[in-house]
Amino acid sequence: MATIAQRRKSLFESDSRPTRIRGDWKYKAFSYLVLTLIAFTMVVPFMWMISTSFKPVTEITKSNFFPIDATVDNYGEVLFNTELPRWYLNSIVVAVMTTVSVAFFDSLAGYVFAKYEFPGKRIIFILILSSLMIPTEMLIIPWYIMSVHPIIGSSWVDTYWGIAFPGMITAAGIFLMRQFMQGVPDELLDAGRIDGVSEFGLYWRIAVPLSLPAIGALCIFNFLGNWNAFIWPLIVTSSQKMFTLPVGIQFFSTESGSDWHLIMTGATLSVVPLLLIVIFFQRYIIEGIALTGLKG
Amino acid sequence: MSGLTLAKRKVIWAYIFLLIPIIFFAYIRIYPTLSAFQMSLYDYNPLSEEQPFVGLANYEELFDELSNPRSVTTAAFRNSAVYVALGVPLQLLLALGIALMLNEIRIFGTIYRLFFFLPFVTSTIAIAWVFRMLYQPQFGVFNVLLQAFSLPQQPFLKSPQQALPSILAMVIWQGLGFAIIIFLAGLKQIPRTYYDAAQVDGASRWQSFRQITLPLLNPSIIYLLVLQTISFLRMFAPVYAMTDQGSGGPLNSTTTVVLRVYREAFQGLNMGYAASLTVVLFGIIMSITVIQMFVSNRLVKT
């Protein structure tokens, strides 16, 4: 915990470095200029996407940046004449399902690996971590067969469980939580034991509250990752009603051509929650990446 | 359980807490991995009654195709190699440059970081479609800009020569934010005193960079090299979204190994062959990881 706190400090504390003396302002001015230009290229595609979503269909293939006759017709069409609201709901359900499960099971497993001694601990931990080295692409074919002929219940294809099951517990999250839970003081847990707190109570009432920042970062990453997931939802959904947003947006383009106004409006709507998350939790996300190297 | 010692009770609770995760990893991660190896030895078609065992025939077919320079499989592996060989160095160089500049400035630093970071958290599919529109002939922004400077229009995604670089540009652009943050974290670890000492000794900016920044940034560079190599190798969504009907066209000029896996397994229902492709991909990723461990171990020792 100490090292993490230190590293976080070094990462975010306002700079107390001495300023450089010679020729500094030239370099700074140059940096600001270049950074502004690059930042511009980062934002323009988003602005183009949003601006297109407000253009009437006849203006889509014109090259004006801002809509001449701004309209919300595209939003009306997307919300009332397509399945997009349903896809939105599906994406939320899947992202929330996996995030809740990951928050609970990853932190519980991380707690056990940090605070318990038991036979087979090392081998189980290594087996779980080694699954990080296996690319998802290798698993999708077996997952699909498992979903068509599951051991429990009827086909998982076209169900929320089918979309969500591969991400219900993550090895990276368990590793991250173990690192954090190691900072929970043993004295606190022992004191709890003496007071008669159950083993689950120790986890739930001591370890979890002390690790909330890490669990929060894990939740944000997991939500982003599942919101944007594409290849598995593409494979395991077959009816339009069960598409998630990324799969559904794809559906606005057919062999006869692409409905650009629908695609850009759908894309804008799918990006809105991400923008909110990034703006509100920017610090946590950047901190999380910097500390763990975790990729969303 | 009150008759047991505390240590024994803790062991039992540990297993109880780990029960569901252990079952999950065994059934959802380890079993499918073994299953992929097994499937690659069968002529596996999910629709047929029987799945005949064919030994190494899928691998023979795979290497036969690879020996034919015009086959789709060769195109897939070649393109994936090009994506890695161009994409990783370009992305890391750009990110390093931006991180160095971001590290210098103090005012608006957070705002800049937010901007660079935005594309990384956005859905690849949404971004890929936006770029696909920007690349359109006539009304796409890039062609409008070319026109404004009286330059000839370019086909971008519609040309077998330009499609791959066009997709690659979008992927590099989208992943920049991640690499920048890793570099920034690495830069903040370098003690300021080193630079001050170098300055006292009369070192130029370039010399400080070459002698202090670069060597001390080595762990971040290796980490990103491996991570981005693997992620470029596994490229799928951008190509699927930016080519017609997810074909990897025009003329297979943009197709990747994973796209090939997807099309063979889920459009051709040739799952045994697709599984053998994933085993080869797994082998490549595994070797990269092992090489990385070897290299970073040596670096730590020296």
Mean pLDDT, rounded, for A84-99: 96
Residue written as tokens 């950074």? A35
* ipTM (interface pTM): 0.91
Please provide the DSSP assignment of A64-104 as one string. Answer: -SS-SS--SHHHHHHHHHSSHHHHHHHHHHHHHHHHHHHHH
Q: Mind listing the pLDDT tens digit for each residue in A190-241?
A: 999 999 999 999 999 999 999 988 898 899 889 999 999 999 999 999 999 9
Whole-number pLDDT of residue A292: 67
Residue A288 pLDDT greater than 80, yes or no: no
d(CA B186, CA A168): 32
Closest residue of chain B to A230, computed from CA coordinates: B237
Tokens of B169: 């540009």
Burial (Cβ within 10 Å: 0-12, 13-18, ≥19) of residue B203: middle
Closest residue of chain B to A273, computed from CA coordinates: B122
Q: How many domains does chain B have?
A: 1
Whole-number pLDDT of residue A290: 73
Asked if the structure places residue B226 within a domain, the reply is yes
d(CA A102, CA A122): 22
Which residue type, as a one-letter code, is found at position B217?
L
d(CA A173, CA A192): 26
Whole-number pLDDT of residue B1: 55
Whole-number pLDDT of residue B300: 59
| Domain at A74-292, CATH class | mainly alpha
- The average confidence (pLDDT) of chain A is 87
Give 10-residue mean pLDDT values along chain B (302 residues).
Answer: 79 96 96 96 89 92 93 95 96 95 84 87 92 89 89 92 96 94 90 89 88 90 91 95 90 95 94 96 92 76 52
Asked if the structure places residue B112 within a domain, the reply is yes
d(CA B37, CA B30): 11
Closest residue of chain A to B18, computed from CA coordinates: A109
Nearest to B21 among A60, A61, A109 (CB): A109
Q: Positive or negative CA dihedral for A76, A77, A81, A84?
A: negative
Scan residues 229-288 of A and list those with Cβ closer than 8 Å to B. Answer: 230-231, 234-235, 245-246, 249-250, 253, 255, 258, 260, 263-264, 266-267, 270-271, 274-275, 277-279, 282, 285-286
Asked if the structure places residue B222 within a domain, the reply is yes
d(CA B215, CA A242): 50
Tokens of B158: 């519609």
CA angle B258, B261, B263 (to 5 degrees): 110
Asked if the structure places residue B166 within a domain, the reply is yes
The total number of residues written for chain A in this structure = 296
Q: Is B227 in contact with A295 (Cβ distance < 8 A)?
A: yes
d(CA B159, CA B261): 24
Element (H, E) at B107: none
Distance of CA A211 to the CA centre of its chain: 19
Chain A environment of B18 (Cβ under 8 Å):
109, 112, 124
Q: Is B39 on the interface with A (CB under 8 A)?
A: yes
Whole-number pLDDT of residue A145: 94
- CB-side exposure of A263: number of CA atoms within 13 Å? 23
Nearest to B125 among A38, A246, A258 (CB): A246
For chain B, give me the number of helices (H) and strands (E)? Answer: 15, 0
Q: Mind listing the pLDDT tens digit for each residue in A162-203?
A: 999 999 999 999 999 999 899 999 999 999 999 999 999 999
Asked if the structure places residue B266 within a domain, the reply is yes
Residue written as tokens 């949003």? A50
Q: pLDDT confidence of A26, banded at 50, 70, 90?
A: confident
d(CA A198, CA A294): 33
Q: Is A224 in contact with B121 (Cβ distance < 8 A)?
A: yes
Range of the domain at B229: 69-301
Tokens of A215: 């669990």
Asked if the structure places residue B255 within a domain, the reply is yes
Whole-number pLDDT of residue B268: 92
Residue A21 pLDDT greater than 70, yes or no: no
Mean pLDDT, rounded, for A44-67: 88
CATH code (residue B92) = 1.10.3720.10
Asked if the structure places residue B125 within a domain, the reply is yes
Nearest to B126 among A139, A141, A270 (CB): A270
Whole-number pLDDT of residue A295: 58
Mean pLDDT, rounded, for A14-37: 71
Whole-number pLDDT of residue B251: 92
The total number of residues written for chain B in this structure = 302
Residue A136 pLDDT greater than 70, yes or no: yes
Share of chain A above pLDDT 70, in %: 90
